[in-house]
Every structure is written in structure tokens, then in C-alpha cells.
């Protein structure tokens, strides 16, 4: 496995994963509200020919979707925590470099880092490489970088 690529992907996807945590929480809340409205519509009459009612089917679908989203959200939260811990193991300068290279990349990010950190371009790339190595080691442990 190429741990460097995995680390780069984790950093690039960090903001999207944070956003997905908010979105899945909101979707779970919406499904729970939908379940309440479905429960109110379930009648006491028996389904025809032993089948289930469409209201019961919708309720089961909501429960299954909430369960699936809950598992997805938990896995995403674990990935976000791993990145947070990896970033916390770095110096402020290293964190800033990885942030601008991977998390909040924009045109001119190298020049911006050169100005902010008072470094030459080659030094910025050396700091980035060292920070990525340290981040990868912190997140994945022993690596064959």
C-alpha cells in the first residue's frame, strides 16, 4: 500500500468528510421526523393477503436508512479523528504547509507560504515533504514510505 498517497487523500478529503458529518446528522434527524409522521398514518387494519402496508414498508425503509447512515457517519468520524490526531502531532508551520497544500489548496499556495513563512520555494517543498512523512507516520504507524 502506498501510505503517502493514502495520507494525501485523507488530507484532501478532510473538509468534505467534516461536511458529510453535518449532512448525515441532518439527514438522520429528517428521517426520524419522517418516521414520526409515518407512525401517525399507520392504521390498525390488517394488510390484505398477508402483505405489509405501504406505511409499514416506509417505516422499515426509514429505520434501515438511519442504520446505514449511522454506520457511515461513525466511520467518517473515525477518519476525521485520525486526521485531527495526525495534524496535532505536527508543528504549527508543518500544519500550515499541509493545510495549504492539501486541505485548503488554492492557486498561488506556494507563494503564499513563501511569504507567510519567509522561506524559499525549495524550503517550502522540503517542509511539505517532511510534514507529510511525519503526518503519515503519526496516522499509519510504521510505513514503507
Q: What is the pLDDT of residue 28?
A: 95
Q: How many CB atoms lie within 10 A of CB 124?
A: 21
Closest-CA residue to 138 (of 2, 14, 1, 3): 3
pLDDT digits 0-9 by tens, 24-56: 999 999 999 988 887 665 555 555 565 567 888
Q: What is the pLDDT of residue 48?
A: 57
Top-confidence residue, 90 or 34: 90
Q: What is the pLDDT of residue 110?
A: 97
- Tell me what the mean pLDDT of segment 93-117 comes to: 97
Task: State pTM to two decimals.
Answer: 0.79
Does residue 135 contact residue 127 with C-beta atoms inside 8 Å?
A: no
Amino acid at each position: 500500500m502506498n501510505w503517502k498517497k493514502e495520507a494525501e487523500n485523507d488530507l484532501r478529503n478532510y473538509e468534505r468528510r467534516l461536511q458529510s458529518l453535518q449532512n448525515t446528522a441532518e439527514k438522520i434527524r429528517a428521517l426520524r421526523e419522517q418516521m414520526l409522521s409515518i407512525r401517525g398514518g399507520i392504521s390498525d387494519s390488517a394488510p390484505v393477503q398477508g402483505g405489509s402496508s405501504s406505511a409499514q414498508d416506509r417505516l422499515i425503509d426509514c429505520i434501515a436508512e438511519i442504520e446505514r447512515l449511522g454506520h457511515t457517519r461513525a466511520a467518517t468520524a473515525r477518519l476525521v479523528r485520525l486526521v485531527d490526531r495526525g495534524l496535532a502531532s505536527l508543528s504549527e508551520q508543518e500544519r500550515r504547509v499541509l493545510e495549504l497544500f492539501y486541505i485548503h489548496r488554492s492557486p498561488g499556495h506556494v507563494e503564499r507560504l513563501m511569504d507567510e513563512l519567509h522561506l524559499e520555494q525549495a524550503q517550502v517543498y522540503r517542509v511539505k515533504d517532511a510534514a507529510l512523512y511525519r503526518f503519515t507516520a503519526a496516522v499509519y504507524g510504521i510505513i514503507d514510505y
